[in-house]
Amino acid sequence: MALSQQWTVASVADGDTITVRRGGETKKIRFCGIDAPEKAQPLGKESKANLQRLVNEVGGRVMITPIESDRYGRTVAEIFSSKNGVEKSLNEEQLSSGNAYIYTQYVGKCPNKIAFGNAEVIAQSKKLGVWSGNYQRPWDYRKQQRNR
């Protein structure tokens, strides 16, 4: 896949999906290696709001490091922001704040998977967000919805 490129976030769909724009091009981006609660799940709105806050802090400008395309045609990527010379991974931020889980089935291709694991451990130890109660995992929720 291509090297990192700067994009502007056009919209935040949920806690692990954004739409970005550059010039006349628009792309839907799925965060590599993380899975946030669905909007209808407990903490789904909070996860989306946290990602929106992270995006707003940098005026919507992010760096996208594409990894692959998924079966829905979305670009799976690591997303970074930079403010005052400090770069941070938004994937990692969602994990460390308890706004997403590591998506173990898909994290293997993410270059920063070890950092993701460390970020999730921090959230678990502090009982933040998804770790503050016994919440259903997003992948189990989606499976349950499909089987209805």
Model confidence pLDDT, tens digit, residues 6-40: 999 999 999 999 999 999 999 999 999 999 999 99
Catalytic residue among 21, 22, 30, 92: 30
Tokens of 118: 């460390």
Task: Please tell me the pTM assigned to this model.
Answer: 0.94
38 is catalytic: yes
61 is catalytic: no
Catalytic residue among 25, 74, 93, 146: 74
CB atoms within 10 A of CB 65: 20
Give the class (CATH, top level) of 5-133: mainly beta
Catalytic residue among 38, 92, 93, 120: 38
| Residue 73 to residue 14: CA distance in whole angstroms | 17
| Residue 34 to residue 32: CA distance in whole angstroms | 6
Do 51 and 39 contact (CB within 8 A), yes or no? no
Do 5 and 22 contact (CB within 8 A), yes or no? yes
Model confidence pLDDT, tens digit, residues 66-93: 999 999 999 999 999 999 889 999 999 9
Domain ranges across the chain: 5-133
